[in-house]
Structure 1
């Protein structure tokens, strides 16, 4: 939640994935945009529903009752399409779907502000730490970002739009194994 509000957990009250009581007093970037320019369109593309429903608080009065115009998320709940496995490879398949839906939506609808969350590199790092598996997951992520970038270039070339893309991780890794979160370490 730090990234979308510009504040630390001691203010927005989210410290981990167990989002119990977020403080929506600190407005997120989607709420700020919609309050200033309600006609602007917003999109979210994610493995989890929690990014939309808990972190942003879609539809909640205390979170500004914002509604995403484009939403592609919650695939981790569809276990018939994405059968869960011990190595979390199903998350890679979900990230592929999220990537494809993001690229298609950018080409056809071009939301004014979007959040794309790809999870597989995080899962691989937790399982394998600093490893060849992690390196391969980063290469895969780079390819996924490349496909979304191609959609952005399409918009820039065909519609003369000016786009900004920000790529970041949601946390770093511990300095010893790379398996755990680092908590303000030099490595991060």
Structure 2
């Protein structure tokens, strides 16, 4: 009996370790962390979500405006503006730093990637690396971007998919916090639900292990309309994982009152942590010369 149990454990362990590792990064534009708690979000609730910060380190060369252009480039390169040099939303810039797409493809040419960006400037700002991406779209609506991502995940067996969704940010700019902003969050939750179903389908039918990361690029001002400045509200973001993180991640207490920007930067997750987390999960060795500005969020 002991031998049979041992063989069963070894069999299950072998199945687990042979799963193909995949990553889905869902970028949600302009979603204020505190607003999530105000609406019922069953799909967001499936994630382990921790408070984070954007905008670089206040008062240093890494400080950057809390706008979408610099923030998304930071998320996808793992470095602040003093390295990637993106300083605004203008599409007449190109990142000076390599992105996760570059790190994945040059480390393992067999890895298949996609960048689906509802806001087209993200792909334009990373123009130098887009030739390495196997599938890319830019522009359109969130529902269309979600459908494209679902189809790619279910049918193409990609290894890394980035999908950017924009409607929450539009609601903020148009109406500030309130009913329409909350409704946009509810719709976003539905889109995330579709993406979850697609990854669950792959997990169950193709022996894959999909690691899903949620991240937002920036917070908003006190009324929810704008962003760009170095305030606690505008610098507050979140990072969500569909599994337990390491101590760096888990030790963040979302309920701790933040009184200063310095406290925010010391006690929450920097958005520069996304790239090293993706690389860690996909077993891509992180090189010193990449000069990434954070450590991974998983062991």
**Which bracket does the TM-score occupy, shorter chain normalised?**
0.7 to 0.9
1:50 to 109, 121, 126: 121
Aligned to 2:108: 37
Aligned to 2:173: 126
| Structure 2 residues not aligned, in runs of 5+ | 1-72, 237-299
Indicate if the aligned counterparts of 1:31 and 1:66 stay in contact, CA closer than 8 A.
no
| Structure 1 residues not aligned, in runs of 5+ | 76-93
The higher relative CO (CA closer than 8 Å, separation ≥ 6) is in: 2
Q: Call closer, same or farther: CA 1:182–1:72 in 2, change over 3 Å.
A: closer
Alignment of 1:1-188 (within 5 A): 1-24=73-96, 26-52=97-123, 54-57=124-127, 60=128, 63=129, 66-75=131-140, 94-174=141-221, 176-181=222-227, 183-187=229-233, 188=236
How far off is 1:23 after superposition? Answer: 3.6
How far off is 1:184 after superposition? Answer: 4.2
Q: Distance in 2 between matches of 1:138 and 1:182?
A: 21
Per-residue CA shift, 1:120-174, capped at 9, x if unaligned? 1001001111111000000000100110110000000101101111111111111
Stretch moving more, 38-47 or 140-149? 38-47
Stretch moving more, 7-16 or 176-185? 176-185
Per-residue CA shift, 1:77-96, capped at 9, x if unaligned? xxxxxxxxxxxxxxxxx111
How far off is 1:182 after superposition? Answer: 5.6
Secondary structure at the counterpart of residue 126 of structure 1: helix
| Higher strand residue share | 2
Per-residue CA shift, 1:88-128, capped at 9, x if unaligned? xxxxxx11111111111100013211110000100100111
Q: Distance in 2 between matches of 1:167 and 1:55?
A: 21
Q: Distance in 1 between matches of 2:168 and 2:186?
A: 10
TM normalised by structure 2 equals 0.51
How far off is 1:47 after superposition? Answer: 1.8
Q: Distance in 2 between matches of 1:13 and 1:19?
A: 13
Per-residue CA shift, 1:50-99, capped at 9, x if unaligned? 322x2221xx4xx4x73321223233xxxxxxxxxxxxxxxxxx111111
Indicate if the aligned counterparts of 2:105 and 2:132 stay in contact, CA closer than 8 A.
no
Q: Distance in 1 between matches of 2:133 and 2:118?
A: 16
